[in-house]
Chain A
Amino acid sequence: MLEVSNLACSRGDHRLFSGLGFALSPGQIMQVQGENGSGKTSLLRTLCGFIQPDEGRIAWEGKDVGELAEAYFSRVLYLGHLNAIKDELSALENLKISAAVSGMELGESAAISALRRMGLKGRERLPVKVLSQGQRRRAALARLLVSDAALWILDEPLAALDVNAVSLIEELFGEHLARQGMVIFTTHQPLLVAGAETICLSLSAP
């Protein structure tokens, strides 16, 4: 359970949002909405602990995330604007290494089947730099399939994806929520998860 109370965040002298509060329980999904520059990415990065909030408290299962630190990080999967994949490595190597960094040993066959489900069949061992933008995004999103994190924080996960991939992501969200997972995401495209109601959080540009 993630609880946020009275959160305020600014970049430079510019106050992005203040007095923000919400709670997310297992099995819930939340979409952060707002115009460009309203602080969606900053909010997500604050929730990951990259940015220290000016005010307010972020609590995971009742404890402050600043104190939990690594214990909280192990429960979080973050995917930002950047794909966090290395151009020189293959999709397979990228997936195995990022799983290893997040503390999980991932077998070859599990990694390959995750990449195949993401529609990268036959391209698992190619260097990522020869893949298209959408395929790179798919390779990055394959982490969703192998992670055991409870809280997914996704910044524009649908960027560069085609229609089939979008419906696959909707399917993955549904599975994750059914496992009592939590999702926080931003998007400018319509995204519907069957069997779950999306909570909306609006950030209004000041």
Chain B
Amino acid sequence: MNKILWLFFVVVRRDLILAMRRRADVLTTLIFFVMVVSLFPLGVGPEPEMLRKMAPGVLWVSALLASMLSLGRLFSADHLDGTLEQMLLAPQPLSVVVLGKMVAHWMVSGLPLVLMTPVLGLQFDMPLEAVGVLMLSLLLGTPVLSMIGAIGAALTLGLRGGGVLLSLLVLPLCIPVLIFGTGAVGAATSGMGFSSHLSLLGALLVLAVAFTPWVAAQALRISME
């Protein structure tokens, strides 16, 4: 058990160090998110009522697209220099390595989006409570995006034009997360209880933690043949 935890932390730490050495990749995701979200008020006009209403959807869809950006590199960089083969030979289950990579990916490309949300919420004149609920829903939802995305990244590893295929594979699977994520904010602004939406997001997260590492590990073994 200890060895499994140790390997998990080794992989997370390694991927975080690598991300810090290649900061441009991290910033690309964040800047893309900020740009896309900021384009909407410019495009649809400055009516506060409409902006407030569309804010959760815009932020969620932008977060979804931004998380697609960095997915392609999740395994492919390690595949190209051979380090992925070494991870396949780790003396612990491959799912542990994959979970570590998923968590590191979320910390680098999901967590910054969550932290950026309050600032972007201002642009849409969102009430404080709605911003809080939106952050909570993103906090529960973006890890699920990273995990589902990892399955797609593992399946499309080494394919030419894999990036587009990856989005086509992964985006439909992310629809439930999007629905419950925006639904929570919608419910909060209209004065209804939002806890059921967040519970469902939490349930999705638990399911994703339980199953996606194993599925992505199997997909990796197939892609590496």
Residues in A lying within 8 Å of B, measured CB to CB: 48-52, 70-71, 73-74, 76, 78, 80-89, 93, 97-98, 100-103
Contact = CB atoms under 8 A, between A and B. Distances in A.
Interface string B3-23: 100110011001001100110
Contacts of A73: 88-91
B17 A89 contact: yes
B225 to A, nearest CB: 5
A82 B85 contact: yes
Contacts of B80: 82
7 contacts: A48-B85, A73-B88, A80-B82, A80-B85, A82-B85, A89-B17, A103-B7
B62 interface: no
A86 B83 contact: yes
Contacts of B49: none
Contact of A102 (B89, B93, B224): B89
Interface residues of B, number: 26
Q: Looking at chain B's contact residues, is the secondary structure mostly helix, strand, loop, or mixed?
A: helix
Given A51-B225, A70-B93, A102-B91, A89 B85 contact: no
A50 B225 contact: yes
Given A70-B90, A82-B82, A101-B14, 17 more contacts: A48-B85, A49-B89, A73-B88, A73-B91, A78-B86, A80-B85, A82-B81, A84-B85, A88-B18, A89-B18, A97-B10, A100-B6, A101-B11, A102-B86, A102-B89, A102-B91, A103-B90
B203 to A, nearest CB: 31
Contacts of A85: 81, 83
Secondary structure of the A contact surface, majority rule: loop
A70 B6 CA distance: 16
A86 B91 contact: no
Residue of B7, B82, B224 most packed against chain A (CB within 10 A)? B82
Interface core residue of A83, A85, A102 (most chain B CB under 10 Å): A102
B92 interface: yes
A74 B81 contact: no
Contacts of A98: 83, 86
